[in-house]
Amino acid sequence: MAQFDLPLEALRTYSPDISEAPGFDDFWSDTLAADEPVALLTETPVDNRQRLIDTYDLTFTGFGGAPVRGWLHVPAGATGPLPTVVQYHGYSVSRGMPLASTFASAGYAHFVMDNRGQGWHAASLFDRTPDPHPAAGEFGPPGPMTSGIAAPETYYYRRLLTDALRFAQLAAGHRLADPGRVVVTGGSQGGYLTLAVAGLAPSVGLRLAGAMPDVAFMCHIRRAVGLTDDAPFSDIARFIKAAPHLEEAVWATLGHYDGVSFARRAECPALFSVALADTICPPSTVFAAHNAYPAPRDIVIYPHSGHEGGQDVQTWRQLGWLAETI
């Protein structure tokens, strides 16, 4: 695949100005203060048809107290406390089936969060999480990318990011997890949620041991919308095209949600990855977050990969990084 963004030499030092909302910290402080503390609603053992891993079907309270689903995978018979990996999924994906967990096989408690209102690209026989918020039904292209985007209070990602932070808090307090060894991870949208949780964690007293964002989405959003024709960033352009009178409101909303802003506030070490032929999450947008990240960090570069990134090669590298870090 052909590279299309800035040359690597420029990417390594790329540090753009981001249109961060003036009230960014207050917005998120108020959002989290007004929301309910996380609670575990249900935890049910699941027959995952595997002998070496135990799986639990979790339901916890996300944004607004709404029930959100997740999996917990642990080595069979584990009693804890275990080093813990909290994983977030990409856009359009659900928690999927309770099948093989590389992290549980390596000895970790592996928490996997469902994406509310998503899941149309992940076949599963198990329940998904709906998005019951009234704004979820507003005008926009298919999918939640522009749901409620005319105001920061109604935007879809306010709900999903709060879900993600609550899930990490739930994991840190779980009987099978070691609260001092919790790492968050995910690819694409999951990489964005990883950065958001890493950035918000200090404000709620959650001390993470690390973050592993892969090909992170929703970073340097304005550049991404102007640079790629691929969905789901193109959905923002389509929304503005259909409703040009809302363009200023859209950019004002997104100023509360840029992954670079969250990256700037993170305190835990991080292992990033980026693909230089990625037309969905352009490499300059990923480097913008990486270069703004103030804590110790490294980045693995895949020069000829698209949005698939490093796949199993990156998982291999993550396992090595985890062993050294926690």
Instruction: Give the span between the Cα atoms of 118 and 157, in whole angstroms.
Output: 12
> What amino acid occupies position 74?
V
| Range 100-110 burial, b when 16+ CB lie within 10 A, else e | ebebbebebbb
230: left (phi over 0), alpha (psi -120 to 50) or beta: beta
Check 133, 174, 256, 307 and give the catalytic one. Answer: 307
Check 147, 188, 261, 305 and give the catalytic one. Answer: 188
278 is catalytic: yes
3-state secondary structure string across the chain: CCCCCCCHHHHCCCCCCCCCCCCHHHHHHHHHHHCCCCCEEEEEEECCCCCCEEEEEEEEECHHHCEEEEEEEEECCCCCCEEEEEEECCCCCCCCCCCCCHHHHCCCEEEEECCCCCCCCCCCCCCCCCCCCHHHHCCCCCCCCCCCCCCCCCCHHHHHHHHHHHHHHHHHCCCCEEEEEEEEEEECHHHHHHHHHHHHHHHHCCCCCEEEEECCCCCCHHHHHHHCCCCCHHHHHHHHHHCHHHHHHHHHHHCCCCHHHHHHCCCCCEEEEEECCCCCCCHHHHHHHHHHCCCCEEEEEECCCCCCCCCHHHHHHHHHHHHHHC
26 is catalytic: no
73 is catalytic: no
Check 278, 284, 290, 305 and give the catalytic one. Answer: 278
The set of catalytic residues is 188, 278, 307
